[in-house]
Structure formats: C-alpha cells, structure tokens
Structure 1
C-alpha cells in the first residue's frame, strides 16, 4: 500500500505540475464568481499532502488581534464539535472506512488518503471535554458515547441527544451534566453509508425539527442514479412524529449547517464535483430553500451543465444558483454563525472550516475563514482567521480544519483539526 501511495504521489505530482501551467490566477469567490470553462481532466489531479501534525511550540497562524491555544490535544481524528448548554464540549472522533476499491484509481486514491490520515480505523466515539476553571484548556476528558458507526453530527434537544452516524440518526436519553450516555442509541432514520460519509446535524431553533446532511456516494453519479437515491440532500426529521423527508436536494456534499438569526434561514456549505479544473466548479455557501434543487449531478452554479452526465433538462431548469462561491475544491466542511463581538474586529458572519483540496494543481483551503454578513446575506470578501496548516511547498499538512463552534464563553471559537488531533481555541489577543 505504501508503494502504491508513493507511486501515486510521484505520478500525481507530475500531473499537477503540468496542470499548473495556465491555472486560474484567482479563486472563484463571492456572489458572482468568475468560473472558468470546464476542462475534463480524464485522469483527475491527485495531490494530497502527507499528514505530519504539529511539533511542540508550532501553532497555526492567527489573524491580527487574535491568539490560538490548544483546548485539547492528543485526540483520535476529531471531526465535529457540539457545545452543550452547560459548557461541556463534545467531539466526534471518527474516520472514513472505505469500501473495497473497484478500480486502479480507487487503489491509488485510498493509498494516498491513508498517508494523509483521511481514512483508516475509526474510533467511533464521542469524547466529552470540560473546562471547569475557565482557563481555555479542558481538564476533564471522558468517553461520552462509544461503539458507534462513524459518528459525526450531534444535537441536544431537551433531554434527548441525537447523533448522526454514517448509516443513520440515533437518539439517547440525556440528563443534565451527564458525562456519559448508556447504550448504543435508538435508530430513528437510516441512511446509506460509504461515499461522502459524514452526517452533520442541526436542530431547528424551536427544537421541533432536526436536519441532516447526507452526501452523494460518488463524484457525479458514476454508478447511475439508483445508488444515489436519498443522497446528495439535506433531510428533515420531525421530532414529534418521527417522519423524515428530503428537505432540499441536488447538494453533492452538504456538510456544515447553521441558522442565520436575522431571517431564520438555514445555510450550508457544499463540496462540489471533481475533475473539471482547479476552480471549476467552486465549493459554496448557500441558503437552503425547502424543496429546492441545487443542480447535482446534472449542473453546477445553477444551470451550467456538466457534459459528462446524462442530462435531465427539467431539473436543470429549476436548479438554484448558490449564494456565495468559496473557491474550487476548498473542501469547506465546518460552519457556524458567529455574532458580532465574539472575536475583536469581526462582525456578524459565518465561520467556515476548510479541510483543503486534493483535486487541484495548486492546493486551496487548509484554513479557517470568516464570511461577513449584512441584512441576512453575505456582504464582502472572506477573511482568514487561522492559516499555516500547510507547508509552503504544499507537501506537508500540519493540520486540517473541520468542525467549528462558538466556545462556551461566547468569546472564543473552537475548531477541530483532524490531522493535528487538536481542538484549537481562538480568542482575542488581549
């Protein structure tokens, strides 16, 4: 497997180097991005930095006026964060367990992903962290839930704790200040596993509904649409009745979700398709309309048709154009609303954890960013909060951002780093 990874890295590096000639000079960003024409790659660009982690004293780089510290370290591939009302911080530790490879490209991709710590044995648990003295570092660490199936999204509604496993949503009874939960949970909804495996969760503001992001199995329905049924969508679960339905579709891999408080609108970040170029199409941040269709796999950025896919003209005609482009292949995963005053110098807006690309000649993402909002919509260019996760030569990843959340003190940000095995805490510098 290591030989395959090294060979893939050598070939992928050569292909990526060749494809750097004529690559777009600017990212496709904002509400009206300049998206280059599609250039089908044939053999996709495969360029993944080797996971290294952080050495003692080496930290991510903060934006001016901010500082960062490790809230907790030595974790096992932390992916997602949920902060409970009592200030406890829950962290889902999980990792992709790939399906058996079906092609030489699958073998190459999986070997490369193992070197990047993106796939492998999954801890399959949720860890509870507690900072009892408020010094910004968790002193207590306990196993909150274990023996799960690639757990990811979490939500607490009243005295019920919901967990998004790759194969469905389970629920547990929760008592205030509990440091662990009994049993393996009751299954409420089943989802198809594999492919884009994460299952993010968010409760509606009134606690009556639960929303789950379920990504596609493949890049562009490569195995047809039947295996994709129920996927590439955001699901809605009615808590009272137990009824589940697709709320919005055509979202290739909708991961983080957040509520914009002024309008009460649900927003999500979506990872778009691969194989058409460095900036084509861009990943995006968008509001989510009930019953809305967002193009996948037939089209992107509204009605731009993907010529590789057998078409459905009626669906393309109703495809919604996303609100805000985030650049190509940034792997934007984490999302939370950050109110003005949380961090000095930052107003209202969305914070996004960008896990980082592999399908580009020049890598993108690998940072924590902020998108300012005004009157309920994005307003302005993205700003960096944390950078420095990638070496200058793009060969080494010290860390990769994933889930984000507002800290228990409401004056900090928490961010999961699944290569560094750290939860980072960002605050004002003074």
Structure 2
C-alpha cells in the first residue's frame, strides 16, 4: 500500500469522526429540492470540513444500476477509461470524452488529504486525454466498434459538431477541427478559439445555439469561495458565448460557481445549466441547482447564494449582491449535478418533457447525496414538479463504496438515454422495458 493510500485511510477515519460529531450536533436537514426549497442557515465547518467519499469499486459482472419502473438498462459500452461526456453524431456514432482531473500542486496538509481521498474515489488520476468512437452496427443496443477518435487532447470534455467543424472543450480552451462526415477519426491539427485558466473546476462543456451560429461554454471557478482572491478568478465561474463567424467571445452569464451541463428548453429557446455550489457550510447549504441563464445575469458566486443570501466568509460587494438572480430549481446539497440534457416526451415511457440530470454524488456531507440520474418535469418552459429517479443504485447501501458515478447524459441515436459512468467505466443505455 502506498503512503498516499495509507494517508487516505487515515483521512477517512478523521472524516468519519467529523461526520459523527456534526450529526450529533444537529438534526439531518430536509433535502433542499424544488422551486422553493428550505435552505438551512449556514454553519461554517472551519478547518476540519466534513469529508466523506466512498471508495471506487466498480460493478461486478452482471451487476446493473437500479432502473425506474417501466424501464430497462444495459451496458452500451464497457472497458472505457473514466468516460465523462457523450456526443452523438448525425450518422449515429457515439463519441465519449475520456478524461480526469489531474493532481495540482500540494500546498497544504488539507490539499494532500483531498488528493489522497479523491484518488481512492477515482476522482483524480492520469487523464486519458482521448475521445473514443462507439458504433452499434447491428442495432442491438451494444457498441461493437470501440476505437480512438481523437487522441493527445488536454482534458477534453465538451464536444459539438457544427457543419464541417468539430469543436472540443479542452481544459485550456475550445479548439476547432475539420470534420468529414462519417469519419472514423480526426487527426488534423486544430485551431484554438478561446483561452481559459486551468486548474480547479476543469470541465469545459459546449452547446451550439439552435441556429448553429454560436457556442455556449461552461467555465467553472478555480476555487471554492475565491479564497485566493478575485484576480485569479477573472473570467471564470461563467457561461461564455462564442460567435462562430467572428471568433469573438464574451461572458454571457456570471456568478455561476461551476456550470457544467448545458441544454436548450425548446419552447422558449432559453439556455439552462446545472451548477455545483460552494462547500463547507452544511449538508444542504447551499443546494446545487438547475437554472435558466439570462444574458448578462449574475447568480451570486462567490458573494452570495440562492439569491441574495450572503456568504460571510467572503469579502463582500453589496452592489453586486443586490443584482444576484435566484436560481430556478434546487437539486439538493452537494449532489454534484453535472450532466444535463433535454428529454422530449415519449423518449422513455411514462416520462413527459423535461430535463435529465446526471448527479455525480457528494463527498462533503454527513449523509451522501446524488449518485443518481434524475428527471425534472417541465411545463410551459419551467420546472413543474418534484424530481423522479431514472437510475439509482450507484452507491452501496452503507455508503462505503461506489459502483459507479453518473456524469454526462444525452439522447442516443435510437431514442434511448445514454449515461456516462466514470467509476464503472461504462456507458449505460436506458430504454422502455
């Protein structure tokens, strides 16, 4: 056993002690979900934050996630290397970005503890830096072809095809590549269109506008609450808009700590995102959220959360706090809601129009949350009811190990729902039973 692995076990024991102590101090709060959640008062955790992350185990042979009534699930592809995001090409090929968070400089005992814990949970490691092509030739719901589509990228995540150009969201910026319809791979050199800071929240999702003239890109913060100052956070915690014709790009929505999944609501053409909120002030405080993104809107980070609730740990900007927009729909505290896609009515039996969300799962609360794929129903362009589970069972009942952790979600070429699982190294396929 390595020194870091041994240290991870020690950290887990210390974390368990902190969890037990905090549970003894207060009742378990009601999960903060929906349009009008009850968000508990902040309780700063200080130098010893709650740290509880299950060990990554993976799936046993024949083991599957638990699927909602009326649905079934199968493995569309296995043996991947930390699959994070999915993109479906017009010819039905499925592309999967395989990448990981990589270790940063260790500046404190806490950062060493975090890295040790994240490695044990398979949330940190060597990045494959690859996009893999999956092809189901015979239509049986399993990809017979699994081969490299692009290699030697830089922590790739978001992908988009617009016309004959394929866009990749590397950690340091969006890169454009020439694409030939039906190609098995891209080997041509790309053109870098944007530059983003690296480190911290590293995923760079991409979503084309419905008319194909613009790209929208999610860029997360470097830190939790700008503890190293706002200068290093410049240009981060935002959704960008890139004009494809001119190459100009600008911040479209700001104050979004870590906006990852992006999706269009078709009836209103509004842009929506899921955002991972700040840590260290409680199990349900504040909740992660699903929200529409208004052009020029500010959503609070780092000064405030869930509207204009001030975070006293942060030097304040009252004028900016006064403009903060309350998000549309709470998704529970620290659920790590990452994946997002619009699912039209009829895609899965029993489900109407709404958003599907891949919840990667918490690491920093006394009772774990997330580790599920959930559905939020919509009516008239807005969330319209409580969440419904699509896939669960990614976490062991005793919360000690995770079999998988869902990330990206998208509608497959056969009208199925595809889910990237970066601990199980699987792409799951959900259909009617």
TM range (shorter): over 0.9
Partner of 1:385: 390
Partner of 1:31: 35
For the 8 Å contact 2:29–2:40, the answer to whether it is kept is: no
Partner of 2:343: 338
Partner of 1:186: 191
User: Secondary structure at the residue paired with 2:375?
Assistant: strand
User: Distance between the aligned counterparts of 2:181 and 2:189, measured in 1?
Assistant: 19
User: Distance between the aligned counterparts of 2:281 and 2:205, measured in 1?
Assistant: 27
For the 8 Å contact 1:87–1:130, the answer to whether it is kept is: yes
Partner of 2:15: 12
User: Distance between the aligned counterparts of 1:184 and 1:108, measured in 2?
Assistant: 39
TM-fit CA distance, 1:98: 2.2
User: Distance between the aligned counterparts of 2:314 and 2:408, measured in 1?
Assistant: 32
TM-fit CA distance, 1:13: 1.1
In the alignment, structure 1 residue 268 sits paired with structure 2 residue 273: yes
In terms of mean alpha carbon deviation, does 19-28 or 315-324 score higher? 19-28
User: Distance between the aligned counterparts of 2:151 and 2:199, measured in 1?
Assistant: 20
User: Secondary structure at the residue paired with 2:239?
Assistant: strand
For the 8 Å contact 2:29–2:284, the answer to whether it is kept is: no
Instruction: Map residues 53-72 of structure 1 onto 2, 5 A cutoff.
Output: 53-72=58-77
Partner of 1:244: 249
For the 8 Å contact 2:178–2:188, the answer to whether it is kept is: no
For the 8 Å contact 1:20–1:362, the answer to whether it is kept is: no
Partner of 1:284: 289
In the alignment, structure 1 residue 423 sits paired with structure 2 residue 433: no
In the alignment, structure 1 residue 376 sits paired with structure 2 residue 381: yes
User: Distance between the aligned counterparts of 2:23 and 2:411, measured in 1?
Assistant: 38
Deviations 1:1-41 (A, max 9, x none): 11210110110011112222324342001011000000000
Partner of 1:87: 92
Which residue, out of 106, 110, 120, partners 2:111? 106
In the alignment, structure 1 residue 295 sits paired with structure 2 residue 317: no
User: Distance between the aligned counterparts of 1:98 and 1:201, measured in 2?
Assistant: 24
TM-fit CA distance, 1:241: 0.1
Which residue, out of 308, 319, 324, partners 1:314? 319
Instruction: Map residues 49-198 of structure 1 onto 2, 5 A cutoff.
Output: 49-198=54-203
TM-fit CA distance, 1:184: 4.3
Gapped runs of 5+ residues in structure 2?
Answer: none
For the 8 Å contact 1:53–1:399, the answer to whether it is kept is: yes
User: Secondary structure at the residue paired with 2:8?
Assistant: helix
In the alignment, structure 1 residue 414 sits paired with structure 2 residue 418: yes
For the 8 Å contact 1:148–1:184, the answer to whether it is kept is: no
Q: Which runs of 4+ in 1 moved over 6 A?
A: none
User: Secondary structure at the residue paired with 2:102?
Assistant: coil
- CA RMSD of superposed structures (Å): 0.7
For the 8 Å contact 2:29–2:283, the answer to whether it is kept is: no
User: Secondary structure at the residue paired with 2:297?
Assistant: coil
For the 8 Å contact 1:24–1:279, the answer to whether it is kept is: no
User: Distance between the aligned counterparts of 1:118 and 1:152, measured in 2?
Assistant: 15
For these two proteins, the number of residue pairs brought into alignment is 428
Question: Normalized against structure 1, the TM-score is what?
Answer: 0.99
User: Distance between the aligned counterparts of 2:430 and 2:120, measured in 1?
Assistant: 28
User: Distance between the aligned counterparts of 1:394 and 1:17, measured in 2?
Assistant: 14
TM-fit CA distance, 1:57: 1.1
Gapped runs of 5+ residues in structure 1?
Answer: none
